Amino acid sequence: MLEHHGSGVYLWRADSFPPSALEHDGVVLERFMDRIFVPIPFDELTPVQISTINTIRERVLGSVPNRTVNEQVKRAVAGFLARTSAKSALEWGCGYAPIGQYLPEVAVDYLDIDPAVVSFHRAARRRCYFADNDNSRIPASRYDAIISVFVWHFHVSFGQMRSMLRGAAAEWIRDSQRLSA
């Protein structure tokens, strides 16, 4: 029923819908998302565990029901952004299925913590930053929007948040503050 993928990351292989938690070899595993289980709080996942999860998700998302749901979410976020005046965006935590394909009028750059994902995008000639290592390379005030889909269950460091704010165009920060007031 469970397939171990290293680093304490497991994939539920049964046809039935997985439970929210289960015990395996005396360890309580929590369902992370889809059919993936981990033994620690999600915001404590290591880069190696995140990379393992990305690899599994790319395979799992190949199935039609999972890919359809994820595409619907990305299309919804892209639809919202398309109704703004954004001309540039940074997708923070892009994974293998970036949102840029749904935003033809927006110049989208990417960032991920998984070196395999960064290599994948760079090989496709997309500008992709390696989280933490490339944070200082993110241009100041370049992006009208910072997009993050399926990422906020991971730990985001203060350094990463500072990079997001530095990369966001000043007009965007003022607009978001006005909208939230």
pLDDT single digits (tens) 35-59: 889 998 887 888 888 888 888 887 7
Residue 162 in domain: yes
Q: Are residues 20 and 73 in the same domain?
A: no
Query: 51 lies in a domain?
Result: no
- 135 or 162, greater pLDDT: 135
38/114 same-domain check: no
What CATH number corresponds to the domain at position 109? 3.40.50.150
**Are 129 and 85 part of one and the same domain?**
yes
Domain identity same for 78 and 164: yes
Give the pTM. Answer: 0.72
With pLDDT > 90 as the criterion, what percentage of the chain qualifies? 28
| Same domain? 154 vs 90 | yes
3-state secondary structure the chain: CEEECCCCCEEECCCCCCCCEEEECCEEEEEEECCEEECCCHHHCCHHHHHHHHHHHHHHCCCHHHHHHHHHHHHHHHHHHHCCCCCEEEEECCCCCCHHHHCCCCEEEEEECCHHHHHHHHHCCCCEEECCCCHHHCCCCCECEEECCCCCCCCCCHHHHHHHHHHECHHHHHHHHHHHC
Q: Do both 23 and 97 map to the same domain? A: no
- Residue at 36 is within a domain: yes
Domain match, 24 and 71 both: no
The more confident residue out of 170 and 144 is: 144
If asked whether residues 15 and 69 sit together in one domain, one would say no
Phi, psi dihedrals of residue 34, rounded to the nearest 5°: 50, -115
Q: Are residues 125 and 153 in the same domain?
A: yes
The domain in which residue 131 lies consists of 64-180
Give the pLDDT confidence of 81-115 residue by residue, as tens digits.
Answer: 888 888 999 998 888 888 998 999 999 999 998 89
pLDDT attached to residue 180 = 42
The domain total for the chain is 2
Which pLDDT does position 176 carry in this prediction?
Answer: 46
Tell me, yes or no, whether 59 lies in a domain: no
Does residue 105 sit in the same domain as residue 24? no
40 lies in some domain: yes
In a domain, 147, yes or no: yes
Same domain, 159 and 80: yes
Contact 54/96 with Cβ under 8 angstroms? yes
Residue 73 lies in a domain: yes
Length of the chain: 181
Highest mean pLDDT among 24-28, 39-43, 49-53, 174-178: 24-28
The verdict on residue 71 lying in a domain is yes
Residues 95 and 40 in one domain: no
Among the listed ranges 67-76, 102-111, 164-173, which one has the minimum average pLDDT value? 164-173
